[in-house]
Structures are given as structure tokens and as C-alpha cells.
């Protein structure tokens, strides 16, 4: 595929309505999901984009882009509900063609206006009634079993808003993992949380059955961190490095990942150098273009823009090359965002 076209799609988004879509939530959101050239693609929805999804193809300014597009249909498990009447769709979503994703706690201790991450809208979907505040382990087990049986889901991602406790939400993640593994033992699961204060919690997550872990820093530049995520920046990069290192010891090389967002103002060469250090540690740097989406302060207050396409392509190419040199592929992660790949373009470049 033409990687530049894939980068343009990631930044400019698409018009049209892919059957599988998501709105506000944690991390990147407000997108449509397709499989492009065999790889999951989560494309922001933008009514002003030159790209349009016409129901089967992606056109640019009315001309077929030539991309090989597979449509992902709305999954069957979305039509089910728990005995209490909670629609499964409010408990977990299909991401890409094969990933079941849930936010086990939809609130975040850092969500005060002067503390919250400016790119995140975790509590907006809760306010809109699109999800529930806390997912119960038994509910997630029920949804996971159905999603595997009816829709062929092959992996699960569990993220969480940060709690006030020293575990930062990890213990509830562990309870959810145990319940899902009891229902579908063969389903690989990635957990995502901030570095817990007590690093022994990382072993607890592995013992609960988690297969991989994401500890997401988003930027390795402290100025950027203070500006974009003042609450989260109170956790030092030293604490992140200690947590990654312990996670690699517990989960193994390339079963630990972190998001690095391109477009927050970090120097691209420093970002690439930081990614190389992570790779050296055995941590997969999931490079993702910053995506401005409604409900986030970046859009509602700052009027922030998507990053420059040339920068996204350069950073992605160089990080993908470093991953290849190290023999680390996103697809080799047992579960998680790096394995899914839809929110970035690293997999399109062999990373
Ligand atoms: S990369 Fe992560 S957040 Fe993006 S679609 Fe895949 S699982 Fe969801």
C-alpha cells in the first residue's frame, strides 16, 4: 500500500459511515473501523475530509484510492444484553475486526479541568449514557464469551481510568481478567494502566491471567507532559521506566507497550531517540498520531490540529525500522493496541 495515503487517512479522516464506529472514550476515538490492505485501521470521522467511504471503497476527491478495503460489520454481540438489561455494547466494543475493548472504570481521578489529559474524553461517553461507570467482572466475562462465539474476537484490551488508590486501578483490572479467563481461557488479554506505586501489582496482573500490558506515557518530554497531561505528569518518567522494566521482567520482551503520541509538540528526533531506548528495554513504542476529537480539551478549548503528515510518516518509518532491527513486531504481542495496530501506521511499515 501507499503509506502516505494511509498516513493521510489517519490524519484527515473519512466521511461516510463505516458500519463499525465508536464515539468519545479513553484514548483515540470518534472513528470508523475498516481493514485496509489486511491491517486494522481506525480512521477518524471528519465531515470535511477529502476521503469518503462509499460503503465498500475509499475514494479521494471522488477517485478510487486503490486501497484494498474490507468492511467490518456491526458485531452480533451488540444485540445482546445482560439479565439486568445492560446492552453488551455499553460494556465492551469491537475494535478493528477482532479486538474486544473495554474501559473497566470509565471515570478518572485526573479528570478535573486543570488536571485531565487534554487529548482524552474518557468521561464524555459516560455522560452521554453510552457506557457504564464500572464494569463488573461477571458482565465482562459474559460479553467476552459472546463476542468470541458470535463474532470471532481473538483478543481483548482492558483499559481503565486512574483510581485514587496506590494500585491506580490495576486491582479491578485483575479481577476482570480473572473472570474473563474463567469464561474463555484461550482469549489473550492486554491490560492498560498507569504505573502502580507498588510494582508487585504488575505480577498480580500477570498471575490473574493478563498476557500483555500497556503502560502509556504518551510523551517522553516533561514539558509536553506538563502542558498536555498535568495530572499524569505528576508520575515521573523515572517511575514509568521502573514500571516498564518490571513489566518486561514479568510479561517478557515485546509484551509491554506504551503509546507515544506524535503531534504534541515534542521534537521528532527526540521522540525517535526515546522510542529507540524503549525498544532497547523490550518495550514496544506504539507511535500514534495525536487525534483531535470532540469532547477533549484539545478541541473544545485549544482548537488543536492533527500533526503534519510528513512528521508522522518520518517518525513512524524510523521507529518501524528500529523495531524491525530489534525483531519486535506489533503482531507478535499476544494482545493489545500494538497487536491491533489500527490507531497507528507502524504495522503498515513492518513494525
Ligand atoms: S489500537 Fe487500541 S485503541 Fe486503537 S482500535 Fe486497536 S485496540 Fe482500539
Residue 137's alpha-carbon distances to 89, 193, 290, in angstroms, are 15, 17, 31
Q: Residue 227 has what pLDDT? A: 97
Q: How far does the centroid of ligand 1 lie from the alpha carbon of residue 341, in Å?
A: 7
Give 11's Cβ-side CA count (13 Å radius). 20
pLDDT tens digits, residue range 227-255?
999 999 999 999 999 999 999 999 999 99
Q: Supply 138's cell numbers.
A: 461477571
Atom of ligand 1 nearest to the CA of 338: 1
Q: CA 340 to CA 347: how far, in whole Å? A: 9
Query: How many Å lie between the centroid of ligand 1 and the Cα of residue 44?
Result: 12
CB contact at 8 A, 285 and 319:
yes
How far is residue 325's CA from residue 211's CA, in Å, rounded to a whole number?
24
Q: Which atom of ligand 1 is nearest to the CA of 340?
A: 6
Q: Name every residue whose Cβ is closer than 8 Å to that of residue 63 and which is 6 or more positions away in sequence.
A: none
Give the alpha-carbon dihedral of 121, 122, 127, 129, to 10 degrees: 120
Give the per-residue pLDDT at 26: 60
Pocket test for ligand 1, best of 342, 348, 351 (most atoms within 8 A of CB): 342
In percent, the amount of the chain with pLDDT more than 90 equals 87
The protein residue whose alpha carbon is closest to atom 1 in ligand 1 is 337
pLDDT at 28 over 90: no
pLDDT, averaged across the chain? 95
Work out which ligand 1 atom sits closest to the CA atom of 28. 3
Q: For residues 261-267, give the mean pLDDT.
A: 96
3-state secondary structure of 285: strand
Res 27: pLDDT? 61
Judge whether 253 and 328 are in contact, CB under 8 Å: yes
Q: How far apart are CA 291 and CA 304, in angstroms?
A: 9
Region for 239 from its dihedrals, namely left if φ exceeds 0, alpha if ψ lies in -120 to 50, beta otherwise: alpha
**pLDDT for 257:** 98
Please give the helix or strand (H or E) that residue 261 lies within, else none: strand 256-262
Region for residue 62 given its phi and psi (left: phi exceeds 0; alpha: psi -120 to 50; beta: otherwise): left
Q: How far apart are the first and last CA of the chain?
A: 15
Q: Is 170 left (phi over 0), alpha (psi -120 to 50) or beta?
A: alpha
Q: Quick one: pLDDT at residue 343?
A: 95
The residue nearest atom 2 of ligand 1, judged by CA position, is 337
Q: What is the reported pLDDT for 293?
A: 84
Q: Give, in order, the Cα–Cα distances in Å from 248 to each of 71, 108, 326.
A: 36, 26, 15
pTM: 0.95
Amino acid at each position: 500500500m501507499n503509506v502516505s495515503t494511509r498516513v493521510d487517512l489517519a490524519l484527515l479522516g473519512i466521511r461516510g459511515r463505516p458500519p463499525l464506529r465508536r464515539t468519545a472514550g479513553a484514548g483515540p476515538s470518534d472513528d470508523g473501523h475498516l481493514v485496509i490492505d489486511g491491517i486494522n485501521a481506525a480512521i477518524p470521522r471528519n465531515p470535511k475530509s477529502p476521503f469518503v467511504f462509499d460503503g465498500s471503497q475509499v475514494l479521494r476527491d471522488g477517485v478510487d484510492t486503490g486501497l484494498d478495503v474490507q468492511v467490518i460489520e456491526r458485531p452480533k454481540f451488540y444485540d445482546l444484553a445482560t439479565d439486568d438489561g445492560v446492552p453488551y455494547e455499553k460494556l465492551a466494543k469491537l475494535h478493528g475486526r477482532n479486538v474486544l475493548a473495554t474501559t473497566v472504570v470509565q471515570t478518572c481521578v485526573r479528570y478535573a479541568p486543570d488536571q485531565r489529559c487534554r487529548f482524552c474524553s474518557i468521561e464524555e461517553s459516560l455522560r452521554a449514557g453510552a457506557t457504564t461507570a464500572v464494569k463488573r467482572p461477571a458482565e465482562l466475562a459474559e460479553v467476552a464469551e459472546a463476542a468470541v462465539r458470535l463474532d470471532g474476537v481473538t483478543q481483548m484490551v482492558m483499559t481503565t481510568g486512574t483510581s485514587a488508590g496506590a494500585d491506580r486501578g490495576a486491582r479491578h483490572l485483575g479481577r476482570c481478567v480473572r473472570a474473563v479467563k474463567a469464561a474463555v481461557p484461550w482469549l489473550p488479554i492486554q491490560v492498560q494502566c498507569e504505573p502502580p506505586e507498588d510494582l508487585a501489582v504488575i505480577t498480580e496482573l500477570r498471575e490473574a491471567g493478563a498476557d500483555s500490558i500497556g503502560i502509556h506515557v504518551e510523551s517522553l518530554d516533561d514539558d509536553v507532559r506538563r502542558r498536555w497531561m498535568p495530572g499524569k505528569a505528576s508520575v515521573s518518567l523515572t517511575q514509568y521506566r521502573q514500571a516498564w522494566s518490571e513489566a518486561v521482567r514479568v510479561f517478557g520482551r515485546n509484551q509491554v507497550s506504551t503509546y507515544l503520541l506524535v503531534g504534541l509538540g515534542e521534537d521528532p528526533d527526540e521522540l525517535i531517540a526515546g522510542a529507540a531506548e524503549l525498544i532497547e528495554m523490550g518495550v514496544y513504542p506504539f507511535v500514534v498520531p495525536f487525534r483531535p476529537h470532540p469532547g477533549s480539551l484539545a478541541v473544545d478549548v485549544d482548537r488543536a490540529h492533527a500533526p503534519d503528515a510528513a512528521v508522522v510518516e518520518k517518525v513512524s518509518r524510523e521507529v518501524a525500522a528500529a523495531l524491525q532491527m530489534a525483531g519486535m513486531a506489533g503482531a507478535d504481542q499476544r494482545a493489545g493496541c500494538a497487536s491491533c495496530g489500527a490507531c497507528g501506521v507502524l504495522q503498515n511499515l513492518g513494525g
